[in-house]
């Protein structure tokens, strides 16, 4: 089995090579910066679990997302302190745990020797590593949805009813947790009872009525408890009113465009995974669909996770991230060899180890020679680092009127220095952070520190 161990090592090396050189920077997509700010503030006691806070001036109560994903990242800040490596390490750790779930799901559907195949295929869709690199909540949500489906598949085969009940409760808890991380997409594992008959009998729950009944009762029980508790009811109600309902009605965001769907789903997922199937078919000259039942189950489960997003008024590529787990499992069920020996009797047993070593060396060399890949907001972050020693922690300072909607600037200033921006353009505070592209120097303010894109000013008469 040395070759199998080697391919597992190569898969882990691929995961790290595709993320670490891109994580090695402070810049992130706007949403990821926002989530890191809210989580760090929660860890510092600014805001609570059910009423998180972004800043003193913008979203003093942050109800743009449910709180569980933010709370879990806050726990990481509480343990390891306030450092950029915390949100990076958290995202990478969640990625690794999700990969473990993918491999465990594969062992329920495929021979154990091929558990690395769907993990490797999971790296093919463009959105997967992007979610990790940018600290998106979908990473945590996918961990819980994958774990919920794994718990349900664990009830296949002979076991005590108490064990089945425990797995069913775990599945229900994971569904609730996934929904509390990023909203209704987390409910899609509830479709497993409808799709499980597609699986071979030995892979289905042995006591489906017991398992699915307890799962549903666990979800409903949690919903009743959340509705009965005032803080959770108020927080989730605010999320529905201010974010979810306007998004689903089309009152917020941009409607779906054909080019977005093509870019995110067709080119980002379908064509990439389809190309893998075509390459394997060309190399092996044919593919025997002996696991079509498993492939159909995973494909339809992936569609259950992604189709509601695709028909909603707002479409973003990372929304379909939880479904990529099951699309990769579907493709793995199609392409893996029929017999285990096909994967273990390869003459070049050294090949996966050599490839893993090449990836490790390439990643380290890239960071040493080139620096981080896909660096974001380089000038703004460099400017903030120059001004950082002057910025008063926890203060509210003046800013240009244009900074009121510059969510990136507000996010980075809050993340770096815990500074809140009062973007009214006037000298009403002792300090003023000027974005040079947004406004001139306010009357009564004098520059005391300068940087390429930002200036730090002291204002008289305050």
Question: pLDDT digits over 105-158, tens only?
Answer: 999 999 989 999 999 999 999 899 999 999 999 999 999 999 999 999 999 888
| Cα distances (Å, whole numbers) of residue 290 to 174, 205, 231, 293, 347 | 31, 21, 51, 8, 26
**By C-alpha distance, which of 405, 413, 411, 406 is closest to 387?**
413
Pairing of strands 420-422, 445-450: unpaired
Most confident of 207-216, 283-292, 335-344: 207-216
Of the two residues 325 and 158, the one the predictor is more confident about is 325
Over residues 351-375, mean pLDDT:
88
Rounded to the nearest 10 degrees, how much is the dihedral formed by the CA atoms of 19, 21, 24, 28?
A: -60
Supply the pLDDT for residue 222. 97
Over residues 194-201, mean pLDDT:
93
Supply the pLDDT for residue 347. 61
Per-residue pLDDT at 338 exceeds 80: no
Supply the pLDDT for residue 290. 77
Pairing of strands 445-450, 396-399: unpaired
Instruction: For the beta carbon of residue 259, count every other beta carbon within 10 angstroms.
Output: 8
Supply the pLDDT for residue 344. 47
All residues at 6 or more sequence positions from 248 whose CB lies less than 8 Å from its CB, including other chains: 312, 313
Q: Which tokens is 147 given?
A: 């774990």
H/E segment holding residue 401 = none
Most confident of 94-98, 366-370, 420-424: 94-98
Supply the pLDDT for residue 160. 86
Per-residue pLDDT at 287 exceeds 80: no
The answer to whether 114 and 343 have CB atoms below 8 angstroms apart is yes
Per-residue pLDDT at 262 exceeds 80: no
Over residues 181-197, mean pLDDT:
94
Of the two residues 317 and 97, the one the predictor is more confident about is 97
Per-residue pLDDT at 163 exceeds 80: yes
Supply the pLDDT for residue 339. 65
**Percentage, residues of the chain above pLDDT 70:** 93
Q: Which tokens is 265 given?
A: 């789903």
To which residue do tokens 């594969």 refer?
106
Burial of 424 (0-12, 13-18, 19+ CB in 10 A): middle
Note the residue count of the chain. Answer: 462
Supply the pLDDT for residue 1. 45
Give the number of C-alpha atoms closer than 13 A to the C-alpha of residue 31, restricted to the C-beta side. Answer: 18
Per-residue pLDDT at 331 exceeds 90: yes
All residues at 6 or more sequence positions from 326 whose CB lies less than 8 Å from its CB, including other chains: 149, 298, 299, 301, 302, 305
Over residues 28-57, mean pLDDT:
96
**By C-alpha distance, which of 124, 149, 95 is closest to 335?**
124
Per-residue pLDDT at 252 exceeds 80: no
Supply the pLDDT for residue 175. 98
Over residues 330-354, mean pLDDT:
74
Over residues 71-85, mean pLDDT:
96
Lowest mean pLDDT among 28-37, 59-68, 165-174, 333-342: 333-342
Angstrom distance (rounded) from CA 389 to CA 191:
53
Sign of torsion over alpha carbons 203, 280, 128, 182? negative
Pairing of strands 420-422, 396-399: parallel
**How many H helices and E strands in the chain?**
21, 5
All residues at 6 or more sequence positions from 203 whose CB lies less than 8 Å from its CB, including other chains: 108, 109, 153, 156, 294
Question: What average pLDDT is seen over the chain?
Answer: 90
Instruction: For the beta carbon of residue 194, count every other beta carbon within 10 angstroms.
Output: 12
**For residue 448, which phi and psi values (nearest 5 degrees)?**
-115, -15
Supply the pLDDT for residue 42. 97
Per-residue pLDDT at 37 exceeds 70: yes
The answer to whether 146 and 330 have CB atoms below 8 angstroms apart is no
Render 195-217 in DSSP notation, one character per residue. HGGGS-GGGSBSSHHHHHHHHHH
Per-residue pLDDT at 71 exceeds 80: yes
Per-residue pLDDT at 246 exceeds 90: no
Instruction: For the beta carbon of residue 389, count every other beta carbon within 10 angstroms.
Output: 9
């Amino acid at each position: 089995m040395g070759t199998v161990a080697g391919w597992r090592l190569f898969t882990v090396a691929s995961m790290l090579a595709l993320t670490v050189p891109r994580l090695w920077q402070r810049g992130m997509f706007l949403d990821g910066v926002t989530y890191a700010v809210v989580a760090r503030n929660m860890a510092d006691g600014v805001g609570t679990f059910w009423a998180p806070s972004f800043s003193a001036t913008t979203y003093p109560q942050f109800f743009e997302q449910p709180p569980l994903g933010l709370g879990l990242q806050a726990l990481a800040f509480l343990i390891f302190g306030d450092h950029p490596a915390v949100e990076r390490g958290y995202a990478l750790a969640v990625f690794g745990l999700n990969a473990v779930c993918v491999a465990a799901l594969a062992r329920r559907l495929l021979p154990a020797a091929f558990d690395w195949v769907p993990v490797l295929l999971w790296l093919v869709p463009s959105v997967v590593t992007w979610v990790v690199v940018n600290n998106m909540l979908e990473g945590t949500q996918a961990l819980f949805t994958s774990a919920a489906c794994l718990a349900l598949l664990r009830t296949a085969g002979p076991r005590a009813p108490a064990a089945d009940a425990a797995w069913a409760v775990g599945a229900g808890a994971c569904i609730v947790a996934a929904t509390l991380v990023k909203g209704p997409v987390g409910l899609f594992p509830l479709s497993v009872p409808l799709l499980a008959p597609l699986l071979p009998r030995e892979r289905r729950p042995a006591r489906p009525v017991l398992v699915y009944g307890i799962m549903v009762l666990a979800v409903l029980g949690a919903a009743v408890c959340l509705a009965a508790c005032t803080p959770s009811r108020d927080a989730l109600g605010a999320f529905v009113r201010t974010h979810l309902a306007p998004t689903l009605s089309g009152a917020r965001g941009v409607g779906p465009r054909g080019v977005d769907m093509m870019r995110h789903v067709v080119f980002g997922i379908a064509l990439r995974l389809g190309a893998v199937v075509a390459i394997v078919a060309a190399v092996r000259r044919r593919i025997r669909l002996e696991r079509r039942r498993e492939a159909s189950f995973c494909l339809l489960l992936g569609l259950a996770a992604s189709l509601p997003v695709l028909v909603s008024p707002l479409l973003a590529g990372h929304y379909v991230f939880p479904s990529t787990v099951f699309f990769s499992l579907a493709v793995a069920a199609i392409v893996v060899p029929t017999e285990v020996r096909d994967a273990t009797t390869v003459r070049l047993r050294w090949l996966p180890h050599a490839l893993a070593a090449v990836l490790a060396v390439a990643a380290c060399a890239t960071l040493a020679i080139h620096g981080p890949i896909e660096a974001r907001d380089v000038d703004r972050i460099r400017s903030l680092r120059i001004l950082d020693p002057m910025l008063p922690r926890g203060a509210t300072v003046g800013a240009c009127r244009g900074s009121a909607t510059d969510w990136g600037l507000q996010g980075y200033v809050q993340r770096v220095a815990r500074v809140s921006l009062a973007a009214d353009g006037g000298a009403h505070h002792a300090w003023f952070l000027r974005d040079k592209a947004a406004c001139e120097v306010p009357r009564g303010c004098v520059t005391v520190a300068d940087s390429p894109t930002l200036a730090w000013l002291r204002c008289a008469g305050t």
